[in-house]
Structure 1
Amino acid sequence: MTGTEPSLVGSLLDRRYRVDRLLARGGMSSVYRGVDTRLDRPVAIKIMDSRFADDRTFVDRFEREARSAARLHHPHVVAVHDQGFDTAGGPDERRAFLVMELVDGGTLRDLLDQRGALDLPLALTIAEQVLSALAAAHTEGLVHRDVKPENVLIGRGGGALGSGVVKVGDFGLVRAVASAGTTSASVILGTVAYLSPEQVTTGAASERGDVYSAGILLYEMLTGHVPYTADTAISVAYRHVNDDVPRPSEARADLPPALDDLVLRATRRDPDARPADAGAFLAELAEVRSQLGIPRAPVPVPAGPADAATEITDAEKTVPAMRAVTSQVPAGGPRGTQALPRGPLVAEQPPPPAEPMAAADAPQPRRRRWVALWLVVGLLLAGGIGAGVWWFTGGRYVDVPQVTGLDRTQAEQVLRRAELVPSFTEERHNTAPSGTVIRSDPESGSRALAGDEVTVVLSLGRPVVPDITPGSTVAQAEQAIRAVQLQPRRDAGADQYSADVPEGAVVTVSPKPGNQANIGDAVTIVVSKGPPPTPVPSVRGLSRDEAFQKLREAGFEPFDAGEEFAADVPAGHVTRTDPAEGATLTDAKRVGVYVSNAVEVPSVLGRQIDEALQILADAGLTSNAEDRRGRFAFVLDQDPDPGTLVQKGTTINLNVVP
Structure 2
Amino acid sequence: MDTQVADTLLGSLIDGRYRIRGRVARGGMATVYTATDERLERTVAVKIIHPTQAPEARARIAGFVERFTDEAKTIARLTHPNVVAVYDQGTHGGLPYLVMEYVRGRTLREVLAERRRLNPEEALAIFEQMLAAIAAAHRSGVVHRDVKPENVLVAEAPTGGMANLVDGVVKVADFGLARAVEASADEESGNQLMATVAYVAPELVTKGHADPRTDVYSAGIVLFEMLTGRVPYDGGRPIDIAWQHVDRDVPSPSTLVPGLPPALDNLVARATRRDPDARPTDAGALLAEVQVARDELGNPNSHTTVLRRITTEPPVSEPTMVVAAVRPAERPAWARLPEDGQRVGRRRAAPPESDGFGARLGRLFTGVAGESRGRLAIIATAAALVLVAALGGWYLTFGRYTDAPQLVSLTKADAEAQIARAGLVLKYAEPRYDATVPRDSVLLQDPGSADRILKGGTVTLTLSLGPEQFPVPDVVGKEFELAEADLVSANLVAVKGTARYDDTLPAGVVVATNPKVGAQVKPGAKVTVILSKGRAPISVPNLVGKNLNDARAELSRLGLVAVENFKDSEKPKDEILGQSPADGTGVERGAEVKLEISKGPPAVVVPRVMDLPCQQAKQVLESQGFPVTIQFNPNAVVRFQNPGENSQVPPGTPVTIGCF
TM-score, structure 2 normalization: 0.45
Structure showing greater radius of gyration is 1
TM-score, structure 1 normalization: 0.45
Structure with more relative contact order (C-alpha pairs < 8 Å, separation 6 or more)? 1
